Amino acid sequence: MPAQLLQLIPHPVAISHGVRLLLWRDDLLNPDLPGNKARKLKYNLAAARAQGHTRLLTFGGAYSNHLAAVAAAGRLHGFDTIGLVRGEEHTPLNPTLSRCVADGMQLRYLDRTTYRQRSEPEFLAEIQQRFGPAYLIPEGGTNALALRGVAELIGELRQHTDFDAVAVAAGTGGTLAGLALGLAEANYPARALGIAALKGAGFLRNEIDDLTRPVTGQPLVNYELHLDYHFGGYAKLPPELRAFIQGFEADFAVPLDPIYTSKMLAGVLSLIERGHFAPGSTVVAVHTGGLQAWAGFGQ
Ligand SMILES: Cc1ncc(COP(=O)(O)O)c(C=O)c1O
């Protein structure tokens, strides 16, 4: 296990508000499947194997960290992989998709209207007919088994520290749901905070509740979803976010990705500044990886 998984972030905002801000470097745990990816895939890969599948099929946008992770997981664990990509093919392939192909993933493109059907049972049945039997992993890898894997992080964190809040970036909300579930199942009184990377992501609350309700019987009340730190929307990198990322790396020697963890940390620091956490609180922010996305921004 890498030495410095839990880092103190002595940011002046945290210090002046009496908050102990810690960063959990989930991005360092598994170089091939960094961050939340290994956790979300862990029980899905086990289920695929147990069900006798040799092929994984999943969905994602052209810059999806999830597609890259499924391709890498296929290479590492001996599955064929098919990635259904939203939109048209653009050549040369961007760095994310090039990496998927290098890891052996077959890419197929779905126009945006077709892509919208990606969760509909009839469409999924048709896909299975077209591509042959495959273990289906939804967009972003978010499903009940993914939550199981993410929930395990709570126990790992508790081996290192007590905490009052754990914060994570939210895309599909699966990682946030898994953390909230992990806290609830451990009966641990901390809150899970999600910082949405997308604009207008209020709909995620229903999705998170739909994901956790089958396990808990009722919606969890131990999580918060913050919608004000999307910096213009998914994959937008305005100068103030770029400056924040550069400053954070210069001050704390931690690289942040442009889509998720940067917004999460900017959001957490803003919440600290606004007095969201009582003095004396410990907040653990989770670095969920995503650094491969920079290759696309460099283009
Ligand atoms: C690096 C990174 N962090 C956070 C997230 C958000 O995870 P979720 O979709 O489970 O909300 C993603 C989603 O793909 C991601 O790639």
Arithmetic mean of pLDDT, 105-109: 98
Of 141, 165, 186, the residue that ends a domain is: 141
Whole-number percent of the chain with pLDDT over 90: 93
pLDDT of residue 1 exceeding 50: no
Whole-number percent of the chain with pLDDT over 70: 98
Cα separations in angstroms, 149 against 36, 44, 282: 9, 9, 24
- Residue located nearest, by CA, to atom 14 of ligand 1: 140
Total domains, the chain = 2
Domain co-membership, 156 together with 135: no
CB 164 within 8 A of CB 277: yes
Domain co-membership, 22 together with 62: no
Domain co-membership, 151 together with 245: yes
CB-ligand 1 contact for 27 (6 Å cutoff): no
Question: What is the separation of C-alpha 129 from the centre of its chain, rounded to a whole number of angstroms?
Answer: 30
User: For the segment 245-264, what is each residue's pLDDT rounded down to a tens digit?
Assistant: 999 999 999 999 999 999 99
* Distance from C-alpha of 146 to C-alpha of 171, rounded to nearest angstrom: 14
| 1 domain-assigned | no
CB-ligand 1 contact for 58 (6 Å cutoff): no
CA 209, 284, 214: angle at the middle one, nearest 5? 20
Question: What is the separation of C-alpha 40 from the centre of its chain, rounded to a whole number of angstroms?
Answer: 8
pLDDT of residue 3 exceeding 70: no
In angstroms, the first-to-last Cα distance of the chain is 33
Scan for tokens 């493109």, then name that residue: 109
User: For the segment 209-229, what is each residue's pLDDT rounded down to a tens digit?
Assistant: 999 999 999 999 999 999 999
Band (pLDDT 50/70/90 cuts) for residue 172 is very high
29, 96, 175, 287: which to mutate for ligand 1, most atoms within 8 A of CB? 175
In the three-class reduction of DSSP (H, G, I as helix; E, B as strand; rest coil), residue 248 is classed as helix
Domain co-membership, 85 together with 153: no
- Residue located nearest, by CA, to atom 15 of ligand 1: 290
CB-ligand 1 contact for 171 (6 Å cutoff): yes
What is the span of the domain harbouring residue 86?
Answer: 36-141
* Distance from C-alpha of 85 to C-alpha of 93, rounded to nearest angstrom: 12
CB 165 within 8 A of CB 193: yes
User: For the segment 48-65, what is each residue's pLDDT rounded down to a tens digit?
Assistant: 999 999 999 999 999 999
Domain co-membership, 18 together with 161: yes
Of 123, 141, 159, the residue that ends a domain is: 141
User: For the segment 26-43, what is each residue's pLDDT rounded down to a tens digit?
Assistant: 999 988 898 999 999 999
Domain co-membership, 50 together with 12: no
Q: In this structure, is the dihedral angle defined by the CA atoms of residues 283, 288, 292 and 294, taken in order, positive or negative?
A: negative
Rounded mean pLDDT of the chain? 96
Domain co-membership, 135 together with 161: no
Domain co-membership, 159 together with 257: yes
Which burial class, exposed, middle or buried, applies to 111 when counting CB atoms under 10 A from its CB (0-12, 13-18, 19+)? Answer: exposed
- 101 CA from centroid of ligand 1 (Å): 21
CB-ligand 1 contact for 173 (6 Å cutoff): yes
Domain co-membership, 216 together with 247: yes
Arithmetic mean of pLDDT, 170-181: 97
Domain co-membership, 285 together with 168: yes
Domain co-membership, 114 together with 241: no
- Residue located nearest, by CA, to atom 12 of ligand 1: 171
| 132 domain-assigned | yes
- 26 CA from centroid of ligand 1 (Å): 12
Domain CATH number, residue 253: 3.40.50.1100
pLDDT of residue 299 exceeding 90: no
Residues 179-200, buried b or exposed e (16+ Cβ, 10 A)?
bbbbbbeeebebbbbbbbbbee
Domain co-membership, 73 together with 40: yes
